[in-house]
Amino acid sequence: MQQIISEPKSRYLLMVEDTASVAALYRSYLTPLGIDINIVGNGRDAIHSLAHRTPDLILLDLRLPDMTGMDVLDAVREVNPNVPVIFMTAHGSIDIAVDAMQHGAQDFLIKPCEADRLRVTVNNAIRKASKRRDELNETGSPSYQGFIGSSQTMQAVYRTIDSAATSKASIFITGESGTGKEVCAEAIHAASRRGDKPFIAINCAAIPKDLIESELFGHVKGAFTGAATDRQGAAELADGGTLFLDELCEMDLELQTKLLRFIQTGTFQKVGSSRMKKVDVRFVSATNRDPWKEVEQGRFREDLYYRLYVIPLHLPPLRERGEDVIEIAYSLLGFMSHEEGKSFVRFSPDVIDRFIQYEWPGNVRQLQNVLRNVVVLNQGKEILLDMLPPPLNIPVEAKVVTIEPVANMAFRPQDIVPLHQSERAIIEQAIEACDGNIPIAAGYLSVSPSTLYRKIQAWNASEKNT
């Protein structure tokens, strides 16, 4: 039996179950977790209870006497979109439960549920929700140091940040435009021992060539036309903290020489001054190019490359982050709906599938712009496919998975395979071709993702019983 570590008594679970005997049984299963449990028998009471206390987790029966579990889920999402919801359902309603997950439910349990399975699922869900609350960013969206997403590719990024943040070693972030390189730099700073000191960012591509030295090192009064007063530069402002050099490969070669000297000695001169000033900064750099190719083509100093490219950190594009796009989209939707005074709370299944399949050449920045466009120009609670701007509002033609035809003369009765076996082979081949991403495979097969989930569930149950 798996060991369960009890949560503090302050944790609160709302169980929505209309069968009193089942509710009492499940309460007894959860007693070892040491959490407060409130049981209600219908959807109306569940919704009303949210006004008195926000639960850490909701266990929600899919079939209730006064409304559906989906109705309750929609109401919960309007009040508090960050409360995790786990559906409880009978075998015949798995299809609906999977659809509910696409609308924001975290998981579902098949009734009757064994004690160990219930305890582990609830315990893990509450722990995960607690961790996400501890990592709320300024917009109220659950995140890791400002990031949203739990894909394997992003977990590798988080581990690198955790490992490298406490060091003074320079970090070089690479990634396409819109992947969140400045967010990553801020995460490194926040996780470091310098987190309470300044974080100063300078975009080397956005500042004119003749002004960037002044922006970086500052200037004294009269150093050039328009220099009416002394001015601190980014290097001085970042003293004790982190200096983020964004799009570094855009920097002029002459200024790269001065930057190298600054990195080597920690000293610099303001423009127009002969005095040296010393500071203590941690360098984090970023580019959307391949820095070594820039070195090979003579646009980036090799010695500067070796000084700054100590710990490389690559941010994956959004198209390689799987279903992170949906987590990010829901976080942005909640924020933008509130900001624009709209009532959007969910995406239609078609939109979810489209978001997962789309390539997102502009990455997270493009996703932000798409959602802002939709929220501003439309009304309602659900984002529909036809609300999206082009090309996202154009349905993707599903790729047809076919079996190679067999010549009549070579095909014999004993070669015939039962239809259910052929179907399973095609589905498994499609999922494998899509790197295990079931929603994308479903799109190519022209079926709902819930259909594939249901079939997989049936196969697993059949194999377990044999």
- pLDDT the model gives residue 401: 43
Per-residue pLDDT of 349-371, as tens digits, reads 889 889 988 999 999 999 999 99
Q: Does 37 have pLDDT greater than 70?
A: yes
Mean predicted lDDT score pLDDT of the chain: 82
Contact indicator for 79, 86 with CB cutoff of 8 Å:
no
Query: Is the confidence at residue 414, as pLDDT, over 80?
Result: no
Determine the pLDDT at residue 137.
Answer: 43
* Residue 404 per-residue DSSP state: P
* Over residues 377-394, mean pLDDT: 91
pLDDT for 211: 87
Question: What integer is the mean pLDDT of 212-238?
Answer: 86
According to the model, what pLDDT value does residue 231 have?
A: 86
Cβ pair 27, 39 in contact under 8 A: yes
Angle between helices 449-465 and 419-433 (to 10 degrees): 120
Q: Are strands 276-278 and 382-383 parallel, antiparallel or unpaired?
A: unpaired
What is the residue type of 168? Answer: K
DSSP-based helix, strand, coil % in the chain, nearest 5: 50, 15, 35
At residue 93, the pLDDT reads: 55
Which of 211, 239, 213 is CA-nearest to residue 226? 211
Confidence at residue 131, expressed as pLDDT on a 0 to 100 scale: 59
Total number of residues shown for the chain: 466
One-letter identity of residue 195: G
Give the model's confidence band at 2: pLDDT under 50 very low, under 70 low, under 90 confident, else very high. Answer: very low
Percentage with pLDDT > 90 across the chain: 33
Q: Parallel, antiparallel, or unpaired for β 242-246 and 199-203?
A: parallel
Mean pLDDT of 401-414: 53
pLDDT digits 0-9 by tens, 419-432: 778 888 888 888 88
CA distance 427 to 441: 8
For residue 372, the model assigns a pLDDT of 94
Considering only CA atoms, which of 4, 5, 17 is closest in space to residue 113?
Answer: 17
Supply the DSSP symbol for 229: S
Range 213-248 burial, b when 16+ CB lie within 10 A, else e: bbbbbbbbeebeeeeeeebebbbbbbbebbbbbbbb
Q: From the centroid of its chain, how far is CA 22?
A: 36
Question: Is the pLDDT reported for residue 283 higher than 90?
Answer: yes
Report which residue type is found at 289.
R
Contact, 56 vs 11, CB < 8 A?
Answer: yes
Q: What pLDDT shows up at residue 99?
A: 64
Q: What is the pLDDT of residue 141?
A: 42
Residue 73 is predicted with a pLDDT of 86
Cβ partners under 8 Å of residue 136, min gap 6:
142, 143
> Smallest Cα–Cα separation from 446: which of 463, 429, 464, 430?
430
- Phi and psi, residue 36, nearest 5°: -75, 130
Confidence of residue 279 (pLDDT cuts 50, 70, 90): very high
Average pLDDT over residues 164-182: 91
Read off the pLDDT of each residue in 282-303 and give the average, rounded to a whole number: 94
Question: Which residues pair with residue 277 across a beta bridge?
Answer: 268
Number of Cβ atoms within 10 Å of the Cβ of 61: 26
Is 91 a residue whose pLDDT tops 70? no
Residues 462 and 70: their CA atoms lie apart, in Å, by: 29
Higher pLDDT, 137 or 262: 262
The pair of structure tokens assigned to 137 is 């960013």
The pLDDT, as a whole number, for residue 323 is 83
Position 174 scores a pLDDT of 95
Question: In the prediction, which pLDDT does 102 show?
Answer: 58
For residue 254, the tally of other CB atoms under 10 A from its CB is 10
Of the ranges 64-78, 113-127, 293-307, 436-450, the best mean pLDDT one: 293-307
458 CB-contact burial (10 Å; exposed 0-12 / middle 13-18 / buried 19+): middle
Residue type for position 190? A
pLDDT at 404 exceeding the cut of 70: no
Alpha helices (runs of H) in 242-300, residue ranges in sequence order: 253-265, 291-296
State which amino acid sits at residue 198. P
pLDDT at 410 over 70: no
CB atoms within 10 A of CB 440: 21
DSSP designation for 304 = H
Closest Cα to residue 245, out of 309, 165, 298, 299? Answer: 309
- Read off the DSSP letter of residue 400: P
Instruction: Give the pLDDT score at 170.
Output: 94
pTM of the model: 0.58
pLDDT at residue 52 greater than cutoff 50: yes
Q: Does the pLDDT value for residue 106 go beyond 80?
A: no
Token digits of residue 163:
């490992």
Residue 291 has pLDDT above 50, yes or no: yes
Cα–Cα distance for residue pair 4/328, rounded to 1 Å? 31
